[in-house]
Structure 1
Amino acid sequence: MKLNTYRETNDLTLVNIQNEIIKLKKELVILNIKKKTKQQVKPNNIKKTKHFISQMLTLEQIKIKYNQ
């Protein structure tokens, strides 16, 4: 999983950010299901996904604040 740079994420529109958040949350659910069913999952992937979700949520709030 490659983390995007600030420049790449800052160019996203609000709709794209919301779609990315949904996609990441689905991925996190799948990773947690794999973890609970004792499938091989790297804990680092879960951590990175949570971190990226929080970055996207922060970016979403910034865009909403400055667009209003």
Structure 2
Amino acid sequence: MYQDPSDSPVHSPSPEHTTTTVERGSFCLARCSCGWSGAARRSRDRARTDAQEHLGAPEERG
């Protein structure tokens, strides 16, 4: 399992939630310190969006 250091943390509006993205083979998924885990995605951007949605954060475009 590989964790991309550039993706960690995605966003943390409260101290009890810290999200990261983790790669498993050709898939990427979002995880949170609260125990939540998003669906495996082929797109890193979609995994980041899953993490932002979990946190209730507005989607950031850049």
Normalising by the smaller structure, the TM-score range is under 0.3
Structure having the larger proportion of residues in helix: 1
Structure having the larger proportion of residues in strand: 2
- Structure 1-normalised TM-score? 0.26
Bigger radius of gyration among the two: 1
- Structure 2-normalised TM-score? 0.27
